[in-house]
Amino acid sequence: MTLMVMSGNSAQAYAACRARVQVIAAYPITPQTSIVEELADFVAAGTLPAQFVKVESEHSALQVCISASALGARTYTATSSQGLLLMHELLHWAAGMRTPIVMGVVNRSVAPPWSLGADHADTMSQRDTGWIQFYAESNQEVLDTVLQAYRLAEDPAIRLPVMVTEDAFFLSHTVEPVEVPDPSLVDSFLPARDARAVLVPGVPARLGSFTGPKEYVEFRREVAKAMERVPEAFHRIEQHYQSLTGRSHGGAVSHYRTGDADAVLVTMGTMTTTARTVVDEMRAEGNKVGLAKLRLFRPFPAEEFRELARRTDRIGVVDRSFTFGAAGPAATEVAAALYRSSHHPVLSSFLVGIGGREVTPNHIREMFGRLLAGKGPETRWMDLPPPAEEVAHG
């Protein structure tokens, strides 16, 4: 184990290196670039004996990974924002083809207007493509999750692609101490890919193919069933990782002081760190507040939220993007999960940090305040100048 000071982008690159990826394909986009620059350095130095295919677009980057994965190689790519949107068609291909690709995504706002700040609209708009999605709070979590993502993606019961996301600049370009596991430790955690259902030269077979409605439904159902197996598989994988490294990031939903909480905020990514300090401050002031960090967004851990609803009366879901015509994407997921719950807490949707705006302790405090005061249900854009816009719950 080596303690290094590194950015989230470095954490992505080091994780891919430790995972001994065999084929990398990437196209540059701010703020993802330093991931692939660092990987190019690893390959050039001979540290990572991988094929690095420098492609002419993100679309081709993902196609290279799909085709390489279809032949049995362990693959990695990274992108952000517009690049992820350009990949959209191929995201469906990667999942439908059951290729265990791992992709780093730096969450960045979507144009127009051009903007570079942290925003989850890029990955949220890909939530229906069949990819497993993780959102990370720290650079350590980025590195650990990428390694866990390979185990998950390549699990014979799963065989689905995984994206591990990090907030633009707050993680991608901010350095933190990160423990980098030794290669031998990672090798024992993540052996070489057990390639199944891949093309074999000389063996007549077709991967992809076309079907009528009958088999098509079966194929889609197989993807759905693989998604259903993710929570159990991930729990097992994270426990194994913890036994080797002593580190856990708390599963699909990481709880902080929610046991007796009157009000709980659900957060994703870097705003969680800010929220945690506010929870401590408000607890010290006598307010029973708690925090549920949503780490795994796809598949959505609905049962965890039904469990949370049994012990708290007020839940606020904080989203860093907005689904136009609806609400925050995580908020709609939580609402859908709670419909099948016997307990129905007050549920509010808060929009904050969009386009890279700072999420301040005051924002967090105000959201808790609104929940504790019994306001809502509501959909509220928190960081617009007063009077804050309020939208009726759809």
Partner 1 sequence: MVKLTIPAPELMYSGHSACPGCAPALAMRLMLKGLGPRTIVSVPACCWTVVATPYPTTALGVAMLDNPIESTGASISGLRAAADALGLTDVHILGFAGDGGTADIGLQALSGMLERRTNAIYAMYDNEAYMNTGVQRSGATPLGAWTTTTPVGDGARGKAEPKKDVMGIVLAHRPVYAATVNPSFPEDFVRKVEKAAALRGPRFFHIFTPCPPGWRYPSDQTIEIGRKATDCGIFPLYEVEEGRYHVTRKGGSLRPVTEYFQAQGRFSHLVPEDLARVQAQVNADWQRLLRLESGT
Measured from the CB of residue 213, what is the shortest distance to partner 1 in angstroms? 12
Query: Out of 211, 242, 243, 277, which residue is the one contacting partner 1 (CB under 8 A)?
Result: 211
User: Does 89 interact with partner 1 (rule: CB under 8 A)?
Assistant: yes
Report how far residue 269's alpha carbon sits from residue 301's, in angstroms, rounded to the nearest whole number.
16
CB 158 within 8 A of CB 95: no
**Cα-based torsion angle of the residue sequence 200, 206, 208, 212 in order, rounded to the nearest 10 degrees:** -160
**Is residue 269 a contact partner of residue 135, using CB atoms and an 8 Å limit?**
yes
Q: Is 208 in the site for partner 1 (CB under 8 A)?
A: yes
Does 203 interact with partner 1 (rule: CB under 8 A)? yes
In this structure, the number of other CB atoms found within 10 A of the CB of residue 202 comes to: 4
Footprint on residues 19-48 left by partner 1 (CB under 8 A): 22-23, 25
- DSSP H or E stretch at residue 239: helix 230-245
Rounded to a whole number of angstroms, the minimum distance from the CB of residue 67 to partner 1 is 3
Closer by beta carbon to partner 1, 74 or else 298: 74
Q: Which two tokens stand for residue 250?
A: 């708390």
Q: Per CB under 8 A, does 213 bind partner 1? A: no
Q: Which residue in the set 59, 283, 288, 306 belongs to the binding site for partner 1 (CB under 8 A)? A: 59
Tell me if 165 contacts partner 1 by CB under 8 A: no
Q: Out of 13, 17, 36, 64, which residue is the one contacting partner 1 (CB under 8 A)?
A: 64
- How would you label 229-253 residue by residue, b for 16+ Cβ within 10 Å and e otherwise? ebbebbeebbeebeeebeeebebbb
With CB under 8 A as the contact rule, the residue among 73, 330, 351, 359 that binds partner 1 is: 73
Q: How many residues does the chain have?
A: 394
Nearest to 273 by CA among 388, 384, 135, 164: 135
Which secondary-structure segment (H or E) carries 52?
strand 51-54
66 binds partner 1 (CB under 8 A): yes
Q: Which residue in the set 2, 3, 45, 56 belongs to the binding site for partner 1 (CB under 8 A)?
A: 56
User: Residue 63 interacts with partner 1 (CB under 8 A)?
Assistant: yes
**DSSP state, residue 356:** G
Among 46, 112, 113, 201, binds partner 1 (CB under 8 A): 201
Interface residues with partner 1 (CB under 8 A)?
22-23, 25, 50-51, 53-57, 59-61, 63-73, 89-90, 93, 199-212, 215
